[in-house]
Chains A and B, each alone.
Chain A
């Protein structure tokens, strides 16, 4: 009998006459599974194996046996409230108190008066088993919840551990100012590199969360996969050069159209190629081959790096897989990137596989996407353009002083006139008074929030300023909410100077109006 069957049994203890046999016959006739115990002690033992309900006749529950049953019931887990039916011959109040009353505090007891009608007994037993089923459902939910809590704790432990290395590097490098308070180039570069690493980590985490919860929105179009690959190289070439890893690319001699979100396609390939670079030692090589295989566009990314142990290859795309091996930890890999890649590919009806001959023998990752059967090839994503260098008037409304000071410093260095304030009321006033070309407005501001600032600016001076929401929340609904409030654009924190330069490039020359 399976454990599921055991947990749905009705245990019967009726030591006098043929009561047990008769009850069993009638209950089994109604489709229930019964097990007759010779006494309370056997019932206690069977409880350990599983039971859906208990039926006792009053003779079974004596002053001696009742405490042993009570003890067994006390051992029930938190979710369990085992239904118990006691058949009584209308006992006196004293008998009830002495023998049975104690069970009412321990479990779910129904007293059925004797003589018992068969229909009443079957009905009581069925009702008890239905109640027990609900308890099993609650147990399953609790187990799932416990698994999730365990997974979350594991995630937090790994995240905390993995943040320590980049934060340590940033902290040390940031404390290397010279006597004038300036940072040398190598220290600044290190800080920038590690900050970008942390930004990627956070972005990957958020993306993975969106994918898993079904909140990611793909903007799919027909693209040439080669364009996505070229775009990914813009991101990874710097780290390849820094690690002295050479990259050889072999493009297909035909276009490989796929129906994909161009940004996500580039993100997938950036992750896979970046991963190969990360795990290839100095002097190593990464070979990327783009080719057609039947009705699929295929990207093969092979390296002569650290390879993958045979016992790891099956779990390499699972969340945190890399965080749980020494090489992954050394390279700052939490094992999010490949999990994200697999999820993004699934959304595109694509796949990724990994092969390796073992540790130290390199590895090959193969990405496959279905070829789009048609002619339309959209142009490659428009590269970001730098602004024309014209000085602009910019208002920054940001309550975090460090972020505000940094943006002010960076934008002034680019030659712009910058007014920076720390709350919504001052922000509104400054925008209205200064009439800037561009206003970067944080959403979570004290005083007035960013949405209110935007709405009041529009009321006050109309559309004579480009309003940009700067927010830590980048979901489509966040962007829509910003547009509805009166913003022209929405950028997600941390705002990079290149994001702002891109916005500035879209402003008309001064005097032409926005």
Chain B
């Protein structure tokens, strides 16, 4: 099995009039991995996906799917896709829709097989228009995998799903990865990326600002959270220079700091009765916030006036 990436953006630029959507973005998706694409709205994630799907072409740089131009139908017969904000025909039934998409592929799953795997039996014969928002997303996901793709593009797959359905879908995604499928995922739920992704790419202003494993991304962030129960007042704690943020939640103090050791020493010295101390590394959410904020500040400071895509 060759090691060429399944999908690749190489220094891709894309402008819409005066708006720069992608500013030299490079990405690679390798076999059997899940890449989570993170970034604020308008960062260029959707444009990046559009280029990889061949829906648009880069102004400069290149996009490849299975080593071919992404608009090649042969390349697209090896991938599945689930988009955001697609309204499908309200009168068709999920089983019919899954079968239709499957018919476009050389060796698809049968509609019944997909329905069973995703436990959609109850809704498979119900008109699409009568399904809830979450059920519609499940059907769209079923359509994405119906062709037995090697590469899946999933744009916000779990929006609108309840907790059980989301957990079930995550399990299917893990199974697919295990079977060797590659997945490109965009999501607003950072815990989703944290739970599933091998690699994370953070995109802002059309550029890759951070990339690596979830742990590597977290390491970008030096801040830590200290949780504790203490009799010290808010004023006592915020007076310490090392403390960036403080909030109280159900009697627990949440102290955010760049220097956990110094804060811990002060805490133990000032309050002999301090309890339930817990030190946490920042999650992906904090990392993400910090990375994107830092880049926005840099972009603003450099005054290049880059705007985000629609």
Q: Do A and B come from one complex?
A: no
Using a CB–CB distance below 8 Å, which chain A residues touch chain B? none
Interface residues of B, Cβ cutoff 8 Å to A = none
